[in-house]
Structure 1
């Protein structure tokens, strides 16, 4: 019965996804609700609601088009009598959509696209593209993204998360994989921010070092704890540039690496029990469980156990943080989720026509995420870290 329900639901989803007109209608309805909600929040009252908190009145609508990847949507934007209401929906949504369209258009203009790309870009914007049209699209985007990329970092960020992903880019007629270096920070308000997004030919000590130095030039300070994977060049750059910071090796990457030291047919609880070590209350409990794990599996998997003994300490640094922060900072999962969203959007392009178009789209996506995070409630309660630091200073006095 459950399988039948799931199958019916999946079929319905596939039918909706395959019906472009229905998708456009659903998105239009959703965005229209967002606009109405913004107006209600601005006025302090729903339509027709009588309340002392009301700060104004509605005054009809005006039409405005929004270009999306499923076509052009005609929306009705609410007005208020004073003319003070404005919405950020168009600016925020259009930024990454324009970057995506521009990347596809560049592919078409440079003769490296397919008929499918041509159809997509023409449907999105309603006309064919020329080099001058692309230049116009890009200029406004690039100015805004440059301001974001070079802004001064006036706050301190005790937590820093670093990672890279790779995109395929056409460079001089050759398709190459280029690295996208990304840094996220958490400030003392407990809010997440995208601090930097840059391109490099590859991950190396020098590319990561330059990336971190540019962050410091922009004002990055107060970093106490850094999370990343085990990339050798990145580790060296962190030690060289962020000398005061503790380093946490992502435990998820560590467990994936552990598979290299296990036989392919291993089907017991060895790795699951190793993973449980990262859920302990404190370092003492984790070390006791680790010792028991080593004793249990040394005879059966000596290669794995020896490797774990040599490297696991790098993944246990998070235990020096307040317990409430453990699950957020023992891995790079926060950044991995952003990377998944980037991947979902860059797959549409597949191969970028140049480095600039790749960076433009990814930065635009990251700006959207950054702005959403700033509007969200705090991600972490930093009072726990502040209290812990006070206690450590008291004990040291």
Structure 2
């Protein structure tokens, strides 16, 4: 009788197993289920194959007689799999030199469950919620410490990501801040800074994450270290650095990238204005501020700001003072082409990232240290692009913006483009 094609054999084998399982009343998943049994059979067969390769001969092969090493029984081991806990028999050799690859010594989980835990953590589930999910779906108990150990695996990947080479030039780099709660003696807010760039191709690129310093905050020395790190990774030039009144950052930008312009984030400036106003006045204030940041020239903006001050200073002097103090970093915006202004004010990409990060951060409440908080933020960022292959577009009108950037900044983008 001729042999059947591999695909047919596989299909017949699977059908036979499922029919037998149904006849015996065997469940597909759960403890003792069909998937668990299949996992056990496949894993044990793979381990036997590894031992064959290690010894140089198969089981019962005469070539192994009177050899220097041989099989030496098996040891039982329970591993956590996506089909639930599975007890497997791991073969041993006489001189103890066999090191399994599929299920390494002291390994208690198959790799798939690690990937699942990391994925759930990236989506903002707490360690307790992940434990409950695994217990409900796979019928197994996993400690919070085990979950933490699994997610710690991402730190090597984070270090590699944080040190990867970057583009030689970026039209815009946004430096934003997410506040997290760190339990260092007592729970206190600590900033984590995110550098988000718009590339020459019109896509977003998250350059890295940095924990804020302890004490009174970050100054020029801190920002010089951060920006120098970015420059050392290949960034020779940045046209515009957008931030929200970060102390010492403008001086550091001037030192690292002398031609770069430091621009106050218009969106943050507007949000900070609303903090000082009653909610019932927000719409009117927003309407009165819009002509200022859309003015065609600085002089026109000054005239409009004078009108705004006359109207609102008596009621909200803090808003007028906020804009007055930020004016030097706000003014560059007024000299830009409309296309460039649109890029700077487009916040959808920033907001989608911040929303994912805040969801993950808020789910955990507080962190034991900076490293744990950075791990959480990194996982949230990676969940936005699990494959790591695609950069999302910043805007659909990028060609017009690129031409405006190249003209405004004297061809710096085209001259240094990779």
Same fold per superposition (TM over 0.5): yes
Matched with 2:127 is 104
Match of 1:197 in 2: 209
Map of 1:224 onto structure 2: 239
**1:145 aligns with one of 144, 158, 165:** 158
Residue 181 of structure 2 corresponds to residue 180 of structure 1: no
Q: CA deviation at 1:152?
A: 1.2
| 1:242 counterpart = 2:265 | no
In structure 2, distance between residues paired with 1:391 and 1:267: 34
Provide the secondary structure at the position in 1 that maps to 2:170.
coil
Q: What is the correspondence of 1:1-397 to structure 2 with a 5 Å cutoff? A: 95-98=118-121, 104=127, 119=132, 122-123=135-136, 126-130=139-143, 133-134=146-147, 137-171=150-184, 173-202=185-214, 203-205=217-219, 206-258=221-273, 269-280=284-295, 283-284=296-297, 287-288=299-300, 290-295=302-307, 297-298=309-310, 301=313, 303=317, 305=320, 308-309=323-324, 311-330=326-345, 334-369=349-384, 374-377=390-393, 379=395, 381-382=398-399, 384-386=401-403, 389-390=406-407, 393=410
- Deviation of the 1:320 alpha carbon: 3.6
Call closer, same or farther: CA 1:316–1:65 in 2, change over 3 Å: farther
Deviation of 1:258 after TM superposition, in Å, equals 3.6
Q: Does the 8 A contact of 1:170 with 1:354 survive in 2?
A: yes
After the TM superposition, which of the residue ranges 382-391 and 227-236 deviates more from structure 2?
382-391
Q: Are the aligned partners of 1:163 and 1:229 in contact in 2 as well (CA < 8 Å)?
A: yes
Higher helix share: 1
**Is the Cα–Cα contact under 8 Å of residues 121 and 127 in structure 2 kept in the other structure?**
no
CA-to-partner distance for each residue in 1:183-241, whole Å, 9 max, x for gaps? 01111111111110122345411333322221112122220101110122334433343
CA deviations 1:276-310 (Å, max 9, x no partner) are: 33335xx33x6425414524652662645576455
Q: In structure 2, what is the Cα distance between the partners aligned to 1:352 and 1:92?
A: 22
Q: Contact 1:165–1:181 at 8 Å: present in 2 too?
A: yes
Could you list the runs of 5+ residues in structure 2 that have no partner in the other structure?
1-80, 85-111, 412-418
CA distance in 2, matches of 1:211, 1:66: 45
Mark the structure with the bigger radius of gyration: 2
Give, in angstroms, the shift of residue 255 of structure 1: 2.7
Structure 1 residues 366 and 233: alpha-carbon distance in aligned structure 2, compared to 1, 3 A threshold? same
Cα deviation, 1:153-203, whole Å, max 9, x if unaligned, reads 1442121000111111233x5433222110011111111111101223454
* C-alpha RMSD of matched pairs (Å): 4.1
CA contact (8 A) 2:205 2:391 kept: no
Contact residue 192 and residue 212 of structure 2 kept, 8 A: yes
| Structure 1 residues not aligned, in runs of 5+ | 1-63, 68-88, 106-115
TM-score for both structures, normalised by structure 1: 0.60
Q: In structure 2, what is the equivalent of residue 10 of structure 1?
A: none
CA offsets per residue over residues 121-149 of structure 1, 9 Å max, x none?
A: 64477543458734651353222222211
**Distance in 2, Cα, partners of 1:208 & 1:262:** 32
Distance 1:177-1:266 versus aligned 2 partners, 3 A rule = closer
Rounded to whole Å, the distance in 1 between the matches of 2:163 and 2:341 is 31
